[in-house]
Amino acid sequence: MQPVAPPVKKRSNLPLFAPPRNKPNPPIAPPPPSPLRYPSMGPGNHQATTTRGLNVTNSNPTPYGTGDSSFVAAGGEAGLIALVNDFYDVMETLPEATTILGMHPVDLTESRDKLSLFLSGWLNGPNTFRPKYGRVSIPQAHSHLPIGESEMEAWLRCMEIALSRQPYADDFKDYLLRQLRVPANRCRTR
């Protein structure tokens, strides 16, 4: 007879993706500022300001969704990490997000990392998700979860609140939320 592993504490009866921890989830620390890494963020290409330590574009001459313009408008890697940390902080406190929070592991560290890396590539920044976690199909990755209209809307509401906390241009916040509705809708399983 083979030994049996002890049961793992879960939020719900849904599959658990990471072992729980008994301490709060630390936010993912943003990488150190690197203004030369993405030349389009530097002087002469866009008028940039620093807010919360992030380079954020005030006026974007390149339409969002073209090249790395969306990644740049989000403040690069540091901006996405700030967005994702706020997103999961909102999810942990928003009453209507209780169901979707229950679909996540108790320790959100890996979830935070995966979302920030995914968004980096999705916004045409560095594709850092695949080398670390492999290929991903967003609908397939969520196919085992009971995601309907209310769960999708709760996820988007968390993102809307997180976006409102970012120093992004208002038109970029609107654009990003509209674009995120597409993969959010594709994750629906019911």
Q: Where are the domains of the chain?
A: 80-186
pLDDT above 90 (res 93): yes
Q: What's the pLDDT tens digit per position in 26-62?
A: 666 665 544 433 333 333 333 343 444 454 544 557 8
Please, what is the angle between helix 109-122 and helix 76-93, to 10°?
130
**Euclidean distance between CA atoms 29 and 150, whole angstroms:** 31
* Residue 8 DSSP symbol: P
The reported pLDDT for the residue numbered 31 is 56
Instruction: Please name the helix (run of DSSP H) or strand (run of DSSP E) that holds residue 83, with its range, or none.
Output: helix 76-93
* Residue 96 DSSP symbol: G
Strand partners, 47: 59
Q: What's the pLDDT tens digit per position in 133-159?
A: 999 899 999 999 999 999 999 999 999
CATH entry, 80-186, from 3.40.50.1000, 1.10.490.10, 1.10.3720.10, 2.40.50.100: 1.10.490.10
- Going by pLDDT thresholds of 50, 70 and 90, the confidence category of residue 17 is very low
CB atoms within 10 A of CB 133: 14
Residue in the block written with tokens 């967003």 = 138
Q: What's the pLDDT tens digit per position in 158-175?
A: 999 999 999 999 999 999
Half-sphere exposure of 162 (CA within 13 A, CB side): 26
